[in-house]
Amino acid sequence: MCSAPSCSDRTCGTCGRSRSASRTATSTCAASEAAASRATARFKHERAAERAGKPAPSRRDLLARKAVVTLFFEASTRTRSSFEMAAHALGADVLSFQKDASSVSKGESLADTVRNLEAIGADVLVVRHPCAGASRAVARVVQSTVINAGDGFHEHPTQALLDALTLRERLGSLAGKSIAIVGDIAHSRVARSNVHCLSKLGAKVRVAGPSTLMPAGIEKLGCEVARSLADALRGADAVMALRIQQERIADARIPGARDYSRVWGLTPKTLELLPPGSVVLHPGPVNRGVELSPEVLDSDRSLVMDQVDSGVAVRMAALALCLRARVSA
C-alpha cells in the first residue's frame, strides 16, 4: 500500500485526529505503508478462512467499546455496508446516520451535527458528503477520528486502497504496470485517488473518456491522457471502468447511455486490445451494458467482486489503525 503521514495528521485524506494540525498531506492512505499492508493482508486472510469454515482468530476485541458512526449524505451500498461490516467485525458499536431522519432535514448545519454526534460518544465519524473538503471541515470541529468515505468529486481514499490491494493480489507488484482508467474522469473521486495511489506504487496510469468528461490539466496528477479507448487499452495490464456521475453533472453535453456504450463501453471485442492476463475493475455501481457488457462483467477477467471483498479488509485496517489498535499476528 502507498505511504502517507500517520493517522495523527489531521489532514490525511482517510483519517485524522488532531484539531490543530495544519499540514497538507497526500490523501490516499490510511496509515504507514508497512502497518497498513500487514493489517489488511491479515484481515483478508482471516475473512477467507472464516468463509471456508477454517479456524480464524476473533478480532472483536480490537474496537470493543468504541462507537463508529457512518455519516453518509449520499447514497451508498458498498462503502457504507463494508465500513459497517468492518466495524462490527472489530467489535465496535455502529450507528448508521440517516440524513433524512435527522435534524439536518430541519436545517441543522454539518458542524453542529457532528459536534452533537461527538457529544453522544462517537469515537469515529465515517463521512461521505457531496461537497469536496467536507471530511476535512468536519475534522476541524471535532476531536473524534474522521475517515473520508468520499467527498464530492475530490477524493475516495479507501476505494483507492482496496483497488490497489485487488490489483496487487492478481498482478503482484504494480511497479511498471500499466493501468487504464476509462470513463467520467472529471467528476470521479475514484479516478483522482487511484491516480495518486497507483502512481505511488509505481504504476503507469492512463486516463481516457469523452472530451466533455476529461478535466483540463489532469496530467499534473501524474497520469497520461489517451485520446481514444483503443489508445487507453493497448498494453494495459488492467482497465478500470467508471460510470458517468449523472448526479454531479448539470450539462446537456454529456453522452447518453447508448452513445457512451458504443464508444467507451468495454465489450469482449474491445478487450481484444488488452494483453493476455489483463483484468477489468469497476468501483461500482455498474450500469450493466453501459460501462461493462454483461459478458465482460461476468467474465473471469472481472475483479469487481474481488474489489468488494477487499473493501471490508481495507476498512477494518483503516478503522483499527486510525484508532491505534494493536493488530497482532
Strand-pairing partners, residue 236, are: none
185 vs 324: CA distance, rounded Å: 34
Query: Which of 43-47, 65-69, 183-187, 227-231 shows the lowest mean pLDDT across its residues?
Result: 43-47
CA distance 15 to 148: 6
pLDDT at position 252? 56
C-alpha cell at position 238: 488492467
pLDDT score of 49: 79
Count, residues in the chain: 329
- Strand order across the beta sheet in which 145-151 lies: 15-16, 145-151, 124-129, 67-72, 93-98
pLDDT digits (tens, 9 = 90+) for 148-206: 999 998 999 999 999 999 999 999 999 999 999 999 999 999 999 999 999 999 999 99
- 148-159 pLDDT, tens per residue? 999 998 999 999
> Looking at residues 102-118, what average pLDDT do you find?
88
Tell me which amino acid residue 123 is.
D
Would you say residue 6 has pLDDT above 50? no
**Quick one: pLDDT at residue 44?**
86
**Phi-psi sector, 134: left (phi>0), alpha (psi -120 to 50), beta:** alpha
Domains for the chain: give ranges and CATH numbers: 15-156+310-322 (3.40.50.1370), 157-308 (3.40.50.1370)
pLDDT digits (tens, 9 = 90+) for 72-96: 999 899 999 999 999 999 999 999 9
- Cell 462517537 maps to which residue? 122
Q: Look at residue 103 in the predicted model and tell me its pLDDT.
A: 78
Could you give the 3-state DSSP secondary structure of residue 66? coil
pTM over 0.85: yes
Using 50, 70 and 90 to split pLDDT, how confident is the model at 104?
Answer: confident
Q: Is the pLDDT of residue 101 over 50?
A: yes
**More confident of the two residues 106 and 34:** 106
Does the structure show a pLDDT above 60 at 245? yes
Calculate mean pLDDT across residues 120-142.
96
Q: Is the pLDDT of residue 113 over 90?
A: yes
Q: State what percent of residues in the chain have pLDDT above 70.
A: 85
Of 12-21, 87-96, 204-213, the least confident: 12-21
What percent of the chain has pLDDT above 90?
A: 70
Beta strands in 140-261 (DSSP E): 145-151, 178-182, 204-208, 224-225, 238-241
Q: Quickly state the pLDDT bin for 223 (edges 50, 70, 90).
A: very high
| DSSP of 237-248 | SEEEE----GGG
Considering the chain, what is the average pLDDT of its residues? Answer: 86
Cβ–Cβ under 8 Å, residues 155 and 148: yes
Contact 68, 36 (CB under 8 A): no
Distances, alpha carbon 92 to alpha carbons 33, 61, 261, in Å? 24, 8, 43
Residue with cell 478503522: 319
pLDDT digits (tens, 9 = 90+) for 47-65: 887 788 887 777 889 999 9
